[in-house]
Amino acid sequence: MDQAAASEDILLDLRNISLSFGGVKALIDISFDIRRGEVRAIIGPNGAGKSSMLNVINGFYHPQEGEVWFDGKLRGPMKPHQIARQGIARTFQNIALFRGMSTLDNLMTGRITHMHENMFWQAIWKGRAEKEELAHRERVEHIIDFLEIQSIRKTPVGKLPYGLQKRVELGRALAAESKLLLLDEPMAGMNLEEKEDMCRFVLDVHDQFGTTIALIEHDMGVVMDIADRVVVLDYGRKIGDGYPDEVRSNKDVIDAYLGVAHD
């Protein structure tokens, strides 16, 4: 593939990102890209800066240096909710569902970037607001079917077990129908069966909707199986980037994970 075609293909391009909190350097001069339609994994030991990286991508942190190019455009100073509207959705490491709301309402909230009827029509409800609501309900019901969570549609999410909450959170991110889906440890704290289910869902999302996915995950087996390309961070620096096989045999990566003798 030649250079021009490759740049057409790139959905997100991070160039020389540096982020620090006071004296703590969280990310140091990191560059990598995410191609359209791929599953890109970000891995690294604890504290490597993976979650900070995601927070930079969805605009929650503003890097001191570097450029974020999304969908061919350089991102200016923006608020996270504006970036969500551009088409980036995410899940969180610690479940961040709206606990007081039902599964259905959580998913409907995920579609909030697509709903536009103003306050006046909503107050009247009959007519435009109801029509919009039903159209979006239809879309959300597809996702409910897809994730097989029909039975918990009206259950407050606070009452659900952990595995299901993770699934609902994935559903909420899917409901946004975003261009880029960021998954922050979607399989953390799950047993083998739940992990397999979740992998299936991630791959199905990728196949059926063609969504570009960036995910953080600690389980190396999972990462090597489902990721198209992997980027490895350690202490805020990028130490590896490439196809799973390349990364697996990279000496720096092995050192970072297994530790090296200090002499």
Partner 1 sequence: MIYREAGDFKTSYSADQQTFPIGFDRWTVRVVVIFAFLVVPFLINDYWEKSILLPFLIWSLAALGLNILTGYCGQLSLGTGGFMAVGAYACYKLTTMFPEVNILFVVLLAGVVTALVGILFGLPSLRIKGFYLAVATLAAQFFLVWLFNKVPWFYNYSASGQINMPEREVLGFIVSGANAEPWATYLFTLLFVLVFAVIARNLTRGRLGRSWMAIRDMDIAAEIIGVPPLQAKLSAFAISSFYIGLAGALFFGVYLGAVEPTEAFGIDKSFLVLFMIIIGGLGSIAGSFIGAAFMVLLPVLFKNIMVGDFGWPTDTVQHFIFMLVGGLIMFFLIVEPHGLAQLWRITKEKLRLWPFPH
Residues that bind partner 1 (CB under 8 A): 58, 60, 79-81, 84-85, 89-90, 92, 96-101, 105, 108-110, 112-113, 115, 117, 119, 122-125, 129-130, 132-134, 137-138, 141, 172-173, 176
Judged by beta carbon, residue 211 or residue 226, the one nearer partner 1 is 211
Which amino acid is located at 141 in the chain?
E
Judged by beta carbon, residue 31 or residue 122, the one nearer partner 1 is 122
Cβ of residue 6: shortest distance to partner 1, in angstroms?
Answer: 30
68 contacts 14 by C-beta, under 8 angstroms: yes
Judged by beta carbon, residue 45 or residue 80, the one nearer partner 1 is 80
Distance CA 189, CA 200 (A): 17
Judged by beta carbon, residue 81 or residue 200, the one nearer partner 1 is 81
Cβ of residue 204: shortest distance to partner 1, in angstroms?
Answer: 21
Cβ of residue 251: shortest distance to partner 1, in angstroms?
Answer: 37
* Sequence-separated (6 or more) residues with CB below 8 Å from residue 106: 97, 98, 157, 168, 171, 172
Q: 3-class DSSP state for residue 88?
A: strand
DSSP state of 149: -
Distance CA 106, CA 99 (A): 9
Distance CA 132, CA 138 (A): 10
Cβ of residue 89: shortest distance to partner 1, in angstroms?
Answer: 7
